[in-house]
Structures are given as structure tokens and as C-alpha cells.
Amino acid sequence: MTTRTTWPVARVLRDRDAGLYLCGVVVSGFGTSALWLASGVWVKDLTGSDGLAALCLLAMWLPTLAGPLLGTLADRGRRKPLLIGVNVLLGGLLLTLVGIDSPGELWLLYAVLFVYGAAGVVHDAAESALVASAVDHSLLGDFNGLRMTATEGMKLLAPLAGAGLYTAYGGAGVALLDAATFALATGVYALLRVREDKPAPPRDGTRRRTAEGIRHLRAHPVLRPLVLAGGATMLLAGLNGALVYAVVDHLGHSPAYAGVLYAVQGAGSVAVGLLSGPALRRLGARRFAAYGIALLALAVALRAVPSDPVALGCSAAIGAGLPAVLIAALTSVQRETPGPLLGRVTATAHTLVYAPNVAGLAAGAALVELMDHRPVLVALGVALLATAAPLFAHPAAAEAESHR
């Protein structure tokens, strides 16, 4: 393999702090993905209720709505001690789940999952801010791409490991595994060599500090269109995701075939993560995001074709196209936001981008019961192209400057 082929990966991994961050992502992401699957199965086994099992995902996701507020915590002090403290807190909380063996004790699981989700919002905001200060800006696109690769890779491997561990040792075994990953992540973050000045004491109230992050995104000519495009894309992607079982049924397969499509989609995301750094440098954030959304649009529309090879190809293309706008938006937030604001802006951007996905899933679940999924898929493809078009048409001068 030539140096030209491997240089984006090598550049990041040769950076000591960037490599440690990625190790932390892999370790904690493995435990989180395993718990995400096992918690629902755990509740289902104890209660027999699909609705109560689904509440596990809701409990973990719900704190994302408070992202702009939670993000202020990442700007109040040094980020490295905060990351270490969050990992210690979550590792300790997960140990409280070991004794759950009856439906009456599930309130504790939901409470821990809710705190888990809230701490995750703070963790992601602090990590993004610390990465932006510790990793060279020229490596941020490569880092975020590799972070996506690591995250998606864990989504492919960890649920299988979690399911096996749950079968052998029950939910307590998975909780212990996740606690162990947080202990390891704590050690990784402790090894980081970063110098942080203590932030000045906040002069304004929490409400005003929260609003600062929102104002920064709204007024910034680079970030506003990328974050809006990311939110619209995730809304439409949620609608598309809700139709997967209708697609599988139209292909003549059992529902389990959806797992094959998701695995292929994950492989596409892993691949684009490896290529995103060079693509961002060559295209800029707007065009990289636009090309990714356009690829997603084509793949979503073609899912209406009842063909296994087409369905598999579309899944790979969805996996490759969807992360582009997410990587472009996050990298731009890190590059275009002053350090003291970065925690709030990151958490606000995450809320604006990811929250619409859940709304899309809910709307799609209702829509698929009312009409044929094929015209819906075509309409989603058209809507995604409309989302990509402004990013092609009006490149921001500010982005060109920051890209140099």
C-alpha cells in the first residue's frame, strides 16, 4: 500500500493525543453500543413489553434535547478533568445495575440510562472542544472521519458481543463490561498531554450563556447552512430508516434481513470515514456535505427498486453519504468557534442535527402504515436533493478562507 493511500490515517495516528482520543472513542463506544442493545432485551425479558423495552432508547436519547443547556457545563472549567470525571461517574453508576432482577427494579435502569444520556451530551461537547485545542486544525477532518469509522465499527461489532454476553451472563454482565470500558477510557484521557487555562468565571446567567451558543450558530455564514442541512438530512434519513422493514418485505425476505442491510450500511460509513479528511481538504465542507447528501438522495430513491443487488448497493451508498454532512458540520464547528464557546456550540449543533432523526423515525413509522413505501422513498430522494442544492449553489467566502 502506498504512502499516498494511507497518509490521512497515519497523520492522525502519529499525533499522540489524536491517537489517544480515538482509543477512548473505541473503548467507550464499544460499551455504549453493547448496552444500547442489551438494555432493551433486558427489559423485554423481565416484562415482556415491547413498549417498555423501547423506553430504554428514549431514556438515553431524551437528554439530547437539552444539549444547548448541558453544553454550558463543558465551558465552565477545564475539559480534561471533566472528561475524566464523567467517565468515573458513569462507570460507578453502571455498577448499580448489577443487582436488577425483577420488573420492580427497572426504574433504576431507566434512571441510569437517562443520566447516561445527559452525561454523554456533556462528554461529547467537552471532547469536541478539547480535540479542537489539542489536535492540529489541519487534522480535524481526518480525526472526525476516523472517529466516525471507529464509532460505526463499534456499532457493527459491539451489539453482537453484547448479545452474546447477555445470553451468557445476563444484563449484569453487560453492565460490568460497560463499566470496565469507562474505567479504561478514564485511563486513556488521563494520559492526554494538554495544557488548559482555567476559564474566567462566568459573568452572565445560565440562560444568557446558553443563548450565546445558539446565536453563534445562527449568525455564522459557514455553520448555519451546514447545521440546517444536517438537521434536514437527519429528519429525512429518519423517515427512510422507518421504511426499512417495508423494503425488506418487498424484497421477499424475513425481517432479519434488515440486519444484513444495516451491516452493509455500516461498512459504507466506515469507508467514508477513512476518506473524509482528504475529501474535506479537496472539496471544502459545503461541497463535501452536498455530495454526500446527493449520494444519499439517489440511494434512498433507488430503494424503491425490488432487487437484492440494488438494495445492498443502496445500503452501502446510504452509509457513505449520510455521514458526510455530519463530519462536515462538526469539523466546521470546531474550526469556526472560539474555544470558550465551543462546548455550548457543539452541544447545540448536536441537538439541532440529531433530534430531527427521532422525529423522522416516528413520522415514518406512522406513514408506512398509511401508504405504499415506494413513492415515499422517491419523494424523500427529491427532498434530499433539494436539501443539497443550496450547499452547491452558494459557497461561503468565509469557508474558503478557513479551508486554507
CB 17 within 8 A of CB 23: no
What pLDDT, on a 0 to 100 scale, did the predictor assign at position 213? 76
pLDDT (0 to 100) of residue 206? 65
pLDDT for res 397: 46
Residues 6+ apart with CB under 8 A from 1: none
Q: What is the mean pLDDT of each run of 10 residues along the chain (404 residues)?
A: 51 76 81 78 80 75 82 80 90 90 88 90 85 76 82 73 80 88 89 72 66 83 92 91 82 75 84 85 91 95 92 92 91 84 84 84 75 90 94 60 44
Question: What confidence score (pLDDT) does residue 1 get?
Answer: 40
Nearest 5°: the CA angle 245, 248, 253 is 125
107-113-116 Cα angle (round to 5): 145
According to the model, what pLDDT value does residue 8 have? 55
Max CA pair span of the chain: 62
pLDDT at residue 291, rounded to an integer: 95
What confidence score (pLDDT) does residue 108 get? 92
Return the H-helix or E-strand segment holding 176: helix 140-190
Nearest CA to 142 out of 10, 297, 243, 25 is that of 10
